[in-house]
Amino acid sequence: MDLDEFDRRLLVALQRDNRQTGEELAAQVGLSPAACLRRTQRLREARVIERDVAIVAAEYTERPLTVITQVTLQRDRPDFLDTFRRRIIAAPEVTQAYYVTGAADLVLVIAVADMERYESFTRREFGDPQVKRFDTMVVMNQVKFEIATPLKAKLSDRKE
């Protein structure tokens, strides 16, 4: 899908707040409110906008404790990585998972009610002998949380 400068401005505005009215978007994008709403719908249908979500403050959730965990797997079983990844995807406690370079194989962001629930999670998910080690960092305070990300200079260069 080819995206123009108006689409780019629209995506920047929507990343900041996707609940803006057509009038609010029009003021930022330089198109009519109706054109902004049509383009937004087209971007959703084309999956340029993958999801519209609400970010709920942690203290209002059942899992207010955030834990960041680095997981290192045994290197002699590459097939285990796929099995482990499927398990992590299915685990409701895992809110984000990244396959990374470096000393660890995966970095997980985990939301739990308390340390007791985190310990249960680690016993269940990391008890396999193919998990070589895991390192835990408990989030004491969220210093910054931003989901908006800069757009490519040329939006039609999207990797598939």
In this predicted structure, what is the pLDDT of residue 152?
Answer: 81
| CATH for 5-54 (3.40.50.1970, 1.10.10.10, 1.20.1560.10, 1.10.3470.10) | 1.10.10.10
User: What residue spans in the chain does CATH classification 3.30.70.920 cover?
Assistant: 62-138
In this predicted structure, what is the pLDDT of residue 77?
Answer: 72
In this predicted structure, what is the pLDDT of residue 58?
Answer: 85
In this predicted structure, what is the pLDDT of residue 92?
Answer: 97
Per-residue pLDDT reduced to its tens digit, 133-148: 999 999 999 999 998 9
Distance from C-alpha of 84 to C-alpha of 86, rounded to nearest angstrom: 5
Strand segments (E) across 16-160? 65-73, 94-99, 106-112, 131-138
4 to 7, 13, 18, 69, 89: CA distances (angstroms) = 5, 15, 19, 40, 35
The CATH number assigned to the domain with range 62-138 reads 3.30.70.920
In this predicted structure, what is the pLDDT of residue 155?
Answer: 59
Per-residue pLDDT reduced to its tens digit, 55-85: 898 889 999 999 999 999 987 677 888 899 9
Given a cut of 50, the residues of the chain with pLDDT beneath it are: 160
In this predicted structure, what is the pLDDT of residue 151?
Answer: 87
Residue 126, token pair as written in the block: 């990391």
In this predicted structure, what is the pLDDT of residue 18?
Answer: 92
User: What residue spans in the chain does CATH classification 1.10.10.10 cover?
Assistant: 5-54
